[in-house]
Amino acid sequence: MSATQLSPVDHTPSGKLLPAVEKLLRLRWQIWVNSFRHSKMLKKVLIILGLVTLLGVAVVMFWLSWLLLRFLRSPQPQEYLGIDPTPFIQTVPVLIFAGLFLGILIASFGVLLQALYLSGDMDFLLSSPVPIRAVFVTKLLQAVLPNFGLVVLFGLPVLFGLGAAGGYNLLYYPLVLVTMVAMTLAAAGLSALLVMLVVRVMPPRRAAEILGFFAATFGLICSQMGNIYNAFGRNADISQEQVSGSLSTLMRFNVPWMPLNWAGRGLIALGEGDWVTGSLLVMLNLGLSALIFGFALVTAERWYYSGWARMQVIARKKKPARAVRQVSAVEGKPVIWARLLPAPIWGIVWKDFLVLRRDLRVLSQLITPLIFGVIYSLMILRTGGEPPGGRGEAPVWFMNTFRSVLSYGSLSMALLVGWMLLSRLAGMGFSAEGKNYWMLKASPVRTTYLLTAKFMVAYFPSLLLGIIFLLGISLFQGFSPSGFLYNLLAVVVSLGGMTGILLGFGVAGANFNWEDPRRMNAGSLGCLGQIISMLYIPFAFAAFIGPLMLSSALNLPQGFAYLAGLVLGAVVSGVCAFLPLWLVRGKVARLDEA
């Protein structure tokens, strides 16, 4: 045989589920180990530290739960609070298991959509002689494990703490873990079925975009719940009545006929030695979980492959109705703009607006300033121009200055929302081009044109948003035409300066290597740009408002103060708008070169 001749190979694919799942999981593990091995030392240390911290958190949670539940089981709470906590304690496992099921069901949807339909290894796996069911199970486990890990980290110590505090028998502990695994698999199976259903009516990429948009908006609203509560004038302090009201609402959930509650109720019964009720409920729960998971597995065999195959067809489906609208939108571009601007600038501006509007993943990033803006505007309007009194220890001059600043709340809010939007539009204006940047780089577009186009794409939407907030708050606060005009000029000029800073840093830290726009960033230089532009806000504010406050303190003519403010603000903003771009102009030509 020649040195280059290949020897024949015998192969008999088994087609069995478990060995195939084991092989695919081993592959995942190998990939993880390899990436860990080849990562930098700092990252390795951080991963190990993270794991140790998580273990520590679990131990602390177990200890705290044990202490708290022991306290709740003692007579003291009833004596001091007048509440009998026993029914609530019995509701804790019910709530944890129900939360686990619903949490995994919802949280797994996006991860499963990504793992089942959008991961890069699907072509390879589906063309290999591996049972489709094995691919499905592996993807399911791979997607669900992180969520399951979180649930175990926070739920298991509480449930074990409950057992330890209540002196439950030993069978309780392993059964808690088994039930958790069973319910996780059932929830994930159900979530996977939902994913497969959605993919039958909509391309997975579009589904991921829509999901990303709603998840980001929902997450942002949740993170601001405290502020929303304040903005709508509710008192954030919680009374004893509210506590007992919330507890009774939670306890009302603990009804025996609801299958979600069988696991928690059964485990408590088993732990307390009620063998008949406990065994029945736990067995019912495990049986139902197995049934759901089994159904998902069988259905997946038919739906998964057909969904995958169908996905290729959906991707090529024609959309004539939408197309007509798109064409007219492009051809109907305002002639005056097209004539005023050089064609390359107009082309880039138009292209960027089309892309921003059509990619929901990008839109989810752009909605942030709107939500923050509405919440903080409501908070400003609620104060009625009066600063919070605090303990009354602040000096009078401080309170007066604070009051004057608040009277310009509309201006500061316009600058704040403008900054938030600019952080994305200007800070990542170049990074947003991603792997398509070659088109701009290979074309004969001047650096000044490119910078001008990116400046316009970032500046005008931010200016529009800023003006809307300025107008809205001014109307509510009491409209003065001269004051509004001055604030309007301040917004127009200040946002120009901010755009220059953010765009300059965006060029310096441009990163074109990303797949998902939500993972796009402008690197550490982009972060620095955000910090510097945030520091610029009070400077710009002071440049415009400082002379006005000074004139009223020193009784100088107000017209002079307005003029001084405008000149000072325009100089500060002008320097910030042009200097950063002038400094990075040479770098633009070399962007995206290794």
Partner 1 sequence: MPEPATLIETRNLVKKYGDKLAVNDVSFEVNGGEIFGFLGPNGAGKTTTIKVIVGLLQPTSGTVKVDGHDIQAQPLQAKAASGYVPDTPNLYAKLTGRELLRFVGDLYNVEREQVARRIDELLRILDLTAAGDDTIDSYSHGMQQKASLAAALMHDPKVLVLDEPTVGLDPKSARLIKDILRQMAERGSAVFLSTHILEIAERMCDRIGIINQGRLIAVGSMDELRGLDKTAEAGETSLEDIFLSLTGGVEVAEIAEILK
- The answer to the question of residue 589 lying near partner 1 (CB under 8 A) is yes
- Least distance between partner 1 and beta carbon 69 (Å): 53
Q: Which is nearer to partner 1, 185 or 433 (CB)?
A: 433
Q: Which is nearer to partner 1, 2 or 235 (CB)?
A: 2
List the x/- string, 349-388, binding to partner 1 by CB under 8 A: -xx--xx--xx-----------------------------
Please say whether the beta carbons of 498 and 369 come within 8 A. Answer: no
> What residues from 446 to 475 belong to the interface with partner 1 (CB under 8 A)?
446
Residues that bind partner 1 (rule: CB under 8 A) add up to a total of 47
- Least distance between partner 1 and beta carbon 529 (Å): 25
- Least distance between partner 1 and beta carbon 197 (Å): 22
Interatomic CA distance for residues 354 and 341, integer angstroms: 18
Q: Which is nearer to partner 1, 176 or 349 (CB)?
A: 349
- The answer to the question of residue 205 lying near partner 1 (CB under 8 A) is yes
For the purposes of burial, counting CB atoms within 10 Å of the CB of 312, is it exposed (0-12), middle (13-18) or buried (19 or more)? exposed
- Least distance between partner 1 and beta carbon 321 (Å): 10
For the purposes of burial, counting CB atoms within 10 Å of the CB of 69, is it exposed (0-12), middle (13-18) or buried (19 or more)? buried
- Least distance between partner 1 and beta carbon 202 (Å): 13
Of the candidate residues 159, 180, 198, 445, the single one contacting partner 1 (CB under 8 A): 445
Please say whether the beta carbons of 394 and 412 come within 8 A. Answer: no
- The answer to the question of residue 155 lying near partner 1 (CB under 8 A) is no
CA distances (Å), origin 319, targets 324, 352, 406: 9, 22, 51
Of the candidate residues 178, 340, 439, 563, the single one contacting partner 1 (CB under 8 A): 439
Mention every residue, 6+ apart, whose C-beta is less than 8 A from residue 93.
159, 162, 263, 264, 265, 267, 268
Q: Other C-beta atoms within 10 Å of 327: how many?
A: 10
- The answer to the question of residue 122 lying near partner 1 (CB under 8 A) is no
List the x/- string, 323-352, binding to partner 1 by CB under 8 A: xx-xx--xx------x---xxx-xxx-xx-
Residue given tokens 């091995």 in the structure block: 37
Q: Which is nearer to partner 1, 99 or 344 (CB)?
A: 344
- The answer to the question of residue 23 lying near partner 1 (CB under 8 A) is no
Please say whether the beta carbons of 310 and 201 come within 8 A. Answer: no
- Least distance between partner 1 and beta carbon 517 (Å): 10
CA distances (Å), origin 25, targets 18, 31, 36, 145, 529: 10, 10, 16, 12, 43
Element spanning 212, H or E: helix 204-223
Q: Which is nearer to partner 1, 46 or 338 (CB)?
A: 338
- The answer to the question of residue 593 lying near partner 1 (CB under 8 A) is yes
> What residues from 500 to 519 belong to the interface with partner 1 (CB under 8 A)?
none
- The answer to the question of residue 319 lying near partner 1 (CB under 8 A) is yes
Interatomic CA distance for residues 444 and 456, integer angstroms: 19
Residue given tokens 């074309």 in the structure block: 443
Residue 483 corresponds to which tokens in the numbers above? 């004051």
Q: Which is nearer to partner 1, 5 or 249 (CB)?
A: 5
- Least distance between partner 1 and beta carbon 557 (Å): 50
Contacts 24+ apart (CB under 8 A), 193-198: 193/295, 193/296, 193/299, 193/300, 193/303, 194/109, 195/109, 195/112, 195/113, 195/116, 195/117, 196/116, 196/299, 196/300, 196/303, 196/304, 196/307, 197/303, 198/113
**Interacting residues toward partner 1 by CB under 8 A:** 2, 4-6, 205, 315-320, 323-324, 326-327, 330-331, 338, 342-344, 346-348, 350-351, 354-355, 358-359, 434-436, 438-446, 589-590, 592-594
